[in-house]
Amino acid sequence: AQGGIATQEGIPKEIRLLGVRDHTGPVAYAGIGGARGGELAISEINRSGYLGKGVKLTIEEVDTAGSIETASAEMAQATADRTVHAIMGPTQGQQAATVAPMVERAQVPTIFTQAGSDGVVINDYTYRATAPMESYYHLATDYLAEKRLRDVSVLYNATFPTFAEIGDGPLPKQAAARGLNIVSSTPVQMTTQDFTTPVRSIAGKDPDAVVMLLTEPQSVTALTQLRQAGYDGQVIATSVQGGGNLKEAGRHGKGVIYPTDFSPALTSRKARDFVAAFEKRFGQLPDVYAAEGYDGMWWLARAIKASGSASRDGIKRGLQEVAKDGFEGAMGELTFAGGDMRVPGVLVRWNGTREELVSGGAS
Amino acid sequence: MTDWYFSHIVLVQSTLTTLLLALSVQVPLRAGVFSFAGVGCYGIGGYLAAIGMVHYGLSTASAILLAAAAGGIAAYALGLLIQRLTGLYLAMATVAFTLIIAVVVVNGGDLTGSAAGLFGALGTLDTGHLLAVVAVVVVALTFTEIGPLGRRVEAVREDPELASAMGIDVARYRRATFAVSGVLGGLSGSMTVLLRSTVTPDDINFHLVVLALTIIIVGGSRSWIGAFVGTVIFVWMPEVLAFVGEWEDVVYGVLVAAAAVYLPGGVTGAAMDGYRRYRRKRREAQSSPDAPPPQPAAAAAGGDR
Amino acid sequence: MAQHILNAVALGSVYLVFALGMALAWSTIGILNFAHGATFMFSAFTAHVVTQQVALPMPAVVLVAVAAGALIATLTQVLAFGPIMRRVADHRAAELRILIGGIGVAAIPLAIAERETASAPFGFRGSTYQAQVFEVFGLRMTTTVLVIVLAGIGIGVGVWRWLARSRQGLALRAIGVDAETASLMGVDRSTLALGTMATSGALAGLAGALLTFQLGAIAPESGDQLLIKAFAIVVLGGLGSMGGVIVGAFVLAGAETLVLAMNQGTWVDAVSFGLIFLVLLLRPQGLFGRQEVRRT
Amino acid sequence: MAASTAATTGDERRAEPEATVLRADDVAVHFGGVKAVDGVSITLTAGRIFGVLGPNGSGKSTLLAALTRLVPLTRGRLEFQGKPYDTVRPHTIAARGVARTFQTVRILPGRTVFDNVALGAESAGRPGSIGRAGKAERGRVRQRVRTAIERTGLSGKERHRPDELSYGYQRRVEIARAIASEPTLLLLDEPTAGMNRQERDDITGLLDDLRGEGLTQLLIEHDVQMMVEACDHLFAMNFGELIADGEPESVVRHPAVQEAYLGTQGRAHA
Amino acid sequence: MLEVADLHVSYGPVHAVRGVSLAAEPERITLVLGANGAGKSTSLRAICGLQPASGGSVRLDGAELLGKRPHRIVRDGVSLVPEGRRIFAPLTVAENLRIGGYTADRSRVGALVDGVYDRFPILAQRRDMPAGLLSGGEQQMLAFGRALMAQPHVMLLDEPSMGLAPGMVDTVLAGVRAIADSGIGVLMVEQNVDAGLAVADTVSIVARGEVVRSGQAAELRQDASVVHALLGEAALAEEGAP
Ligand SMILES: Nc1ncnc2c1ncn2[C@@H]1O[C@H](COP(=O)(O)OP(=O)(O)OP(=O)(O)O)[C@@H](O)[C@H]1O
Ligand SMILES: Nc1ncnc2c1ncn2[C@@H]1O[C@H](COP(=O)(O)OP(=O)(O)OP(=O)(O)O)[C@@H](O)[C@H]1O
Ligand SMILES: CC(C)C[C@H](N)C(=O)O
Ligand SMILES: [Mg+2]
Ligand SMILES: [Mg+2]
């Protein structure tokens, strides 16, 4: 590769990006979703001549295959490649936290999606296009308070960083602030497969609602077994259950409500356009990962435009500048806390076949 | 070259740290001790180094020393505790030890960063330091593979009772392998963490056990060279297989299974067999061509008295 | 309390069916099959794919999974373990290679399933079966649990007795000790080994179907978690003892249920592995394992 | 066999003639209900060959295992060169100079004959030394290995792996390994099983030479003629107990031995 | 009847058996003698299919056995007592015997086991003990008894008297004689020359992988010195020791 390209100021004809994320392995869906959202955004950006006539964004994807090792190895290669202007970073929190110091050393601006743990957005080169779940999870407690569902049981995966963070901290606090009464809090671990026992004791308490912070297969099982244990109250879940992950729970999944940063049920024009374009291109509804990838890519494009330079430094400056004012994306009015995105969030209900809007989502 | 080096620096470094991890399982295995305590000590070392650096501001060198020492002590103590166990029972007990460590760090509160782990433990290691450590380890291990000590270690593995009838203190050898594997695990864990700056409970899992074992069996379980060859193969495989894209894991599986079937002594074993056959061929070619079929002693045995 | 015991029995039965298949091949012909978890998962996945096409009743779904499991295990034996066993004279040399061969084989179905599902959970939503909930003596359970408990205990005891009593069972154990000499007794070791592996795979398939019915859905990675548990169960019970597997499965399930019932969910693994550790300290050959036979 | 090379070895360890080398007092080894050895007392004096005779299952090998501490004693006391050793671990007594062979061949399958014998040579009285041996010491070890290999008729097979050898030769590796350690006391459990008369005589010739060098030996064999010729003193066992003890000829003629050992026909076999 | 003709076996470059011809006829015991490493065990292993032969033929009643797998050969009626006993150590004595009767008629197994116990009472005492704990000689009895369980047409014995006390040697060899007399062909390797000659009908002497002499046992009994000479025992013979 010819050296120095990505450090030249100004906007060249080709702006080369690299997507470094999981395309295989247990959380491949997040990487694949993000890549597809980004791909859609790039095609829109290029087609519309948003960055100037004939200016093309191109992206190449490499697979981190679910491993921190591979992620940092790929990232080392990506950052050493002087033709790369920016990187769309890993989706797994730990991969992201590991590569964060690397991108600073190499001074390559990197936008993560997902990557919901601490230690990711830690310097001038790390940005994240996913709002932390706890920043909009109050939608759930608001809803419970509004519906007077006072007594709440919490069932959460306490060894999964994102859920551990919510389950141990914000959730009890938000609940207390809204006069909710947490009657039981049941931590389980990543390897828990069968929920008969915890679900049994929850059903025994018969709370008004159950807040369930679990991974996809866990949530299907827990829901099924919760219903079989005779519990028929409201279940509140998370965006992890979005994107049709509750389908396998069949009738037991019906009526589950969860806050999410994006839903195809959103009604803003931006959201509807995104959903339509995505469906046309990929033949299916976009999930949260796709929306984040899409908005993240637009953040980048706006950044280049704002600073008038696609150099690594220019992009970095642009990202900060765009973050100051925020912009409207598929996920709604986007604001930023430093390099970290914030969304209005939306509360949806799974009706057995798709998501329905419950509240929020106004833009 | 330097370009290549900088873009592959992570792979180069993780080859060295992974080699230490593989050795931490290979060393006991060579003495017939089927122990994965080294992987547990990888976790202990990694966490101690990160805790030392993040919470107590230790220097890189002292964090690594602390980790190695703690790994050695922990494994030695474990070895004392379970010295009556053998074979797969011992393997199970050490796997249990390793997985319990993972649970303990998940429940470790702020000290261990709980489920999310610790980040920001960036040490000042470079490839030169790693090379130095690995070189010292490899030289030391070489002495346990050759000559009298090598034979004794082999006797302890193949037939402990015979070994003790030959005056070898089998229990002492076993305890020693525990300590060594703990030190190696601690070194590997701490250096890995200080290079990458993060450590999570996820890092200590059964897959790491499987990886270490796969490396030494595919590479060759009898000497550090086998561990090295295996490490190179498995660290670099994702890079090399990148072109098959999403079928990488399938190809990986096929290659591993094929190695198990076709390479009895691992890659190094196959290479040595090949070399031996080549030498024999040459020897035969050199000995007079018109002599009756080679009489490699055995056939002549019946009457050589 | 009684409810907790029932839950533990149900969980133990799932572990049992899964672990039995693994123990069968392991403690007879000496094959510690690390692809057992992948076989389990992929049979359930196959049944999932089939139910998406045709709405099958529960027995048919189970049958599909059992057949898939048997097929996968047979292939594994023919392509990997058989060739390894043919190439070595003594069993100890083969042990580690079989382990690694299994690890390699396991990667293949896992990769395929992860790709096809994008790692989303899958189940038998297409099946006509709906679990019925009923109560006896105030204990709540589902028809699925009933089936699992009956299958687990029935098959467990059956396999145990068969191995101890039958001629083939004896021949299998002989192969595990010394395959060459076993063949001198007229034992057709490759055919018996193939049959054993097929049976073991069928049990993995059965466990796959039953567990998926029980949990509603599993993920491609679910097999790995069970694998390590089954390994622990067999060792806990004592290698070579089918009775030990039965006890081991319920002991482990009991311990896990207890920890969960005490609402210490994040300590489950520590407690169950700690228990195994303790048992091994007190009984180095597992609960029912035999002391190694070695003479001077 | 190359008896001529023998004279140079073993002299450092030669014990005082007639000094007591090993004393076992009321030794018993029970396995559950099986009383494999039940109250055996023997004394081995320096520089002589002692033999143990007895029907199959009479406890000979178990006695050997007890003397080398490989099985726990149910009761009894053991003394080697005046020092009690019934509680030490097996490697200690081996390191003090007690070498043995096993009834079932036990050799390292992955190592050459040379290496297997070297294992014995290196064990000689240097407990736990971690192979820091100097050049001179290494040379001496190699010499010991060569001598042992020559004396057991294994010359030419140094580079073979044990599993490439016929059974009779595997037995020789066992013997070579034991004598390479230049022990003070050598215990042999059916060293000539699987050999024909000529081959046996070669081995007994070797044992005789070793006796000449002052080595005390305890030999288990079933070949009565060979035992009478080779041994200075015989012990006869049955059901774990000593039934006779003394001059070989008289022991063999002892009625209890005739009865127990030589079968119902009572006809001597040789 | 078993006919071995011009058998060749190699271990890699080692040509261990070079054209051995032997026969085992019903009611007759063929004794195979030879020094250590002469190729006796290798020949027996090749006949049973445990070691691939590189040439020659092994016919049982005219049908070729070479190339068949061991368990097939056993089912055809050839059974081997292997060198070094090879009992199944963790299995009990009774189980070892039952597995020996794997190919036998199911209903007869019980009676056959009892027959072995009658011959070797110590095995009956030890029936529920893991066979690996038996003494060396007891294991040898078990290996012999186990082979009897298969009710073979032809029996191959690799040093059946090894490790046996003299009285037991007589018992076993008398047993071999009785087996032969019941119509079974026996091919027996023995190091105990005198005891072997006492029961054998025919003798073949193997050296360096070849048969160097064969003849009737009766003749060779008269002329033991020839045998000893061929086994490399010339020195002994001259001294007239036996
Ligand atoms: N670990 C054990 N457990 C139970 N019984 C045992 C054990 N070891 C040996 N025995 C029994 O003790 C008896 C003595 O065995 P030992 O091996 O000492 O006999 P031996 O005299 O050497 O016989 P042989 O001449 O056949 O080798 C045998 O009957 C054997 O079955
Ligand atoms: N696996 C093997 N690899 C290489 N050579 C071997 C192997 N097995 C045996 N041999 C050689 O083949 C020759 C014949 O061995 P075999 O075991 O048949 O001898 P034998 O006549 O039975 O001797 P013994 O009386 O000692 O049992 C020997 O020289 C031996 O070294
Ligand atoms: C892909 C997602 C499961 C990643 C997860 N939210 C994390 O932060 O690690
Ligand atoms: Mg004995
Ligand atoms: Mg032989």
Say whether residue C291 is in contact with chain D using an 8 A CB cutoff: no
What does the alpha-carbon distance between residue B86 and residue C231 come to, in Å, rounded to a whole number? Answer: 16
Atom 17 of ligand 1, nearest CA residue: E135
CB C72: neighbour CB atoms within 10 A? 27
The answer for residues whose C-beta is within 8 angstroms of residue C13's C-beta and 6 or more apart is C148, C149, C151, C152, C153, C249
Of C177, C186, C187, Cβ closest to residue E91: C177
SS3 state of residue B222: coil
Q: Which ligand is nearest to the CA of E158?
A: 5
Q: Distances from the Cα of D193 to the Cαs of A215, E84, E144, E145, E234, in angstroms?
A: 67, 10, 17, 20, 21
Residues E133 and E48 in one domain: no
- Is the CB of E172 inside a 6 Å radius of any atom of ligand 2? no
What does the alpha-carbon distance between residue A316 and residue A311 come to, in Å, rounded to a whole number? Answer: 8
Measured in degrees and rounded to the nearest 5, phi and psi for residue C281 equal -60, -40
Return the partners of chain C (3 or more C-beta pairs < 8 Å).
Answer: A, B, D, E
| pLDDT interval class at B294 (50, 70, 90) | very low
The domain boundary residue, chosen from E135, E151, E167: E151
Distance of CA A28 to the CA centre of its chain: 13
Helices (H), chain E: 40-47, 70-75, 93-100, 109-119, 121-125, 136-149, 166-181, 193-199, 217-222, 224-230, 234-239
- H/E element holding C225? helix C222-237
Mean pLDDT rounded to a whole number for chain C? 90
Residues E147 and E170 in one domain: no
And the tokens for A329?
């994306």
CB B80: neighbour CB atoms within 10 A? 12
Our separate counts of H helices and E strands in chain B read 14, 2
Quote the minimal CA–CA distance from E176 to chain D in Å. 17
Q: Distances from the Cα of A146 to the Cαs of A29, A135, A138, A359, D84, in angstroms?
A: 34, 19, 12, 11, 86
What does the alpha-carbon distance between residue C238 and residue C251 come to, in Å, rounded to a whole number? Answer: 13
Is the CA virtual torsion B165, B167, B171, B174 positive or negative? negative
Mean pLDDT rounded to a whole number for chain A? 91
The answer for residues whose C-beta is within 8 angstroms of residue E10's C-beta and 6 or more apart is E16, E17, E54
> Is B69 buried (19+), middle (13-18) or exposed (0-12) by CB count in 10 A?
middle
SS3 state of residue D95: helix
Measured between beta carbons, the chain A residues lying within 8 angstroms of C51 are: none
CATH code for the domain in which residue E164 is found: 3.40.50.300
Return the ligand 3 atom nearest residue A117 CA. 8
CATH superfamily of the D1-97+183-270 domain:
P-loop containing nucleotide triphosphate hydrolases (3.40.50.300)
And the tokens for C237?
């019970």
Q: What is the DSSP string of C143-178?
A: HHHHHHHHHHHHHHHHHHHHHHHSHHHHHHHHHHH-
The verdict on a CB contact (< 8 Å) between C295 and E80 is no
What does the alpha-carbon distance between residue C29 and residue C25 come to, in Å, rounded to a whole number? Answer: 6
Q: pLDDT at position B116, please?
A: 86
Average pLDDT (C84-113) is 86
Quote the minimal CA–CA distance from C199 to chain A in Å. 25
And the tokens for E198?
């006492």
What does the alpha-carbon distance between residue D164 and residue D169 come to, in Å, rounded to a whole number? Answer: 10
Q: Does residue B297 carry a pLDDT above 50?
A: no
Q: How far is the CA of D25 from the centre of ligand 4 (A)?
A: 21
Residues E129 and E207 in one domain: no
What does the alpha-carbon distance between residue A137 and residue A238 come to, in Å, rounded to a whole number? Answer: 8
Average pLDDT (E102-131) is 91
The answer for residues whose C-beta is within 8 angstroms of residue C194's C-beta and 6 or more apart is C74, C77, C78, C82
Q: Residue D111 half-sphere exposure, CB side, CA atoms within 13 Å?
A: 26
What does the alpha-carbon distance between residue C177 and residue E92 come to, in Å, rounded to a whole number? Answer: 12
* Per-residue pLDDT reduced to its tens digit, E51-75: 999 999 999 999 999 999 999 999 9
* Per-residue pLDDT reduced to its tens digit, B81-99: 998 898 889 999 999 999 9
Residues E89 and E66 in one domain: no
What does the alpha-carbon distance between residue B66 and residue B58 come to, in Å, rounded to a whole number? Answer: 10
Average pLDDT (A11-22) is 92
* Per-residue pLDDT reduced to its tens digit, A131-182: 999 899 999 999 999 999 999 999 999 988 889 889 888 899 999 999 999 9
CB C53: neighbour CB atoms within 10 A? 8
Q: pLDDT at position D131, please?
A: 46
What does the alpha-carbon distance between residue E87 and residue E98 come to, in Å, rounded to a whole number? Answer: 12
The domain boundary residue, chosen from E151, E185, E209: E151
* Per-residue pLDDT reduced to its tens digit, C26-41: 888 889 999 999 999 9
- Is the CB of E205 inside a 6 Å radius of any atom of ligand 1? no
> Is A140 buried (19+), middle (13-18) or exposed (0-12) by CB count in 10 A?
buried
Q: pLDDT at position D148, please?
A: 92
State the pairing for strand pair D98-100/D185-189.
parallel
Distance of CA C146 to the CA centre of its chain: 19
Residue B74 lies in a domain: yes
Q: pLDDT at position B296, please?
A: 37
Average pLDDT (B65-71) is 96
Closest residue, chain A, to B17 (C-alpha):
A69
Q: pLDDT at position B266, please?
A: 85
| pLDDT interval class at A303 (50, 70, 90) | very high
Q: Does residue B299 carry a pLDDT above 80?
A: no
Quote the minimal CA–CA distance from C145 to chain D in Å. 45
Residues E68 and E120 in one domain: no
Report the candidate in A227, E121, E82 with the shortest Cα–Cα distance to residue C183. Answer: E82
Q: pLDDT at position C239, please?
A: 84
Which residues of chain D fall below pLDDT 50? 1-13, 127-131, 264-270
Mean pLDDT rounded to a whole number for chain B? 87
- H/E element holding D80? strand D75-80
Contact C6, C133 (CB under 8 A): no
Q: Does residue E7 carry a pLDDT above 90?
A: yes
Expressed in angstroms, the distance from the first to the final Cα of chain E is 35
Of B294, B298, B303, Cβ closest to residue E207: B303
The answer for residues whose C-beta is within 8 angstroms of residue D77's C-beta and 6 or more apart is D23, D24, D25, D26, D27, D84, D86
Q: pLDDT at position A360, please?
A: 67
Of C108, C232, C280, Cβ closest to residue B253: C108
Torsion of CA A165, A167, A172, A173, to 10 degrees: 10
Report the candidate in B257, A39, A288 with the shortest Cα–Cα distance to residue C111. Answer: B257
Output b/e per residue, A91-128; b: 16+ Cβ within 10 A.
Answer: bbbbbbbbbbbbbbebebbbbbbbbbbbbbbbebbbbb
Say whether residue B297 is in contact with chain D using an 8 A CB cutoff: yes
Residues found in chain C: 296
Q: pLDDT at position B25, please?
A: 95
Measured between beta carbons, the chain A residues lying within 8 angstroms of C222 are: 193, 217
Residues E163 and E145 in one domain: no
* Per-residue pLDDT reduced to its tens digit, A32-58: 999 999 999 999 999 999 998 889 999
Report the largest interatomic distance among the alpha carbons of chain A, rounded to a whole angstrom.
Answer: 68
Q: How far is the CA of D161 from the centre of ligand 2 (A)?
A: 12
Measured between beta carbons, the chain E residues lying within 8 angstroms of B294 are: 13
- Is the CB of A116 inside a 6 Å radius of any atom of ligand 3? yes
Q: Does residue A82 carry a pLDDT above 60?
A: yes
The verdict on a CB contact (< 8 Å) between C186 and E130 is no
Measured between beta carbons, the chain E residues lying within 8 angstroms of C293 are: 89-90, 130-133
Return the ligand 1 atom nearest residue E137 CA. 26
Q: pLDDT at position B287, please?
A: 58
What does the alpha-carbon distance between residue E172 and residue E217 come to, in Å, rounded to a whole number? Answer: 19
The verdict on a CB contact (< 8 Å) between B248 and A65 is yes
And the tokens for C262?
């005490």
The answer for residues whose C-beta is within 8 angstroms of residue D233's C-beta and 6 or more apart is D48, D49, D50, D51, D245, D246, D247, D248
- B285/D268: higher pLDDT: B285
The residue type found at B263 is L
Measured between beta carbons, the chain E residues lying within 8 angstroms of D57 are: 122, 134-135, 137-138
Q: Please tell me the least confidently modeled range out of A117-121, B292-296, C287-291, D128-132.
A: B292-296
The domain boundary residue, chosen from E120, E151, E182: E151
Domain boundaries, position E241: 1-77+154-242
Of E69, E102, E131, Cβ closest to residue C185: E102
* Per-residue pLDDT reduced to its tens digit, E216-231: 988 887 777 777 766 7
Closest residue, chain C, to D189 (C-alpha):
C296
| pLDDT interval class at B268 (50, 70, 90) | confident
DSSP state of E201: S
SS3 state of residue A64: coil
Q: Which of E92, E96, E135, E139 to mutate to test the pocket of ligand 1 (most atoms within 8 A of CB)?
A: E135
ipTM, interface predicted TM-score of the complex: 0.89
- H/E element holding D234? strand D233-238
Q: How many domains does chain E have?
A: 2
Q: How many domains does chain B have?
A: 1
Q: Please tell me the least confidently modeled range out of A238-247, B286-295, C5-14, C226-235.
A: B286-295
What does the alpha-carbon distance between residue B273 and residue D58 come to, in Å, rounded to a whole number? Answer: 46
Q: pLDDT at position C73, please?
A: 97
CATH code for the domain in which residue B145 is found: 1.10.3470
Percent of chain B whose pLDDT exceeds 70: 92
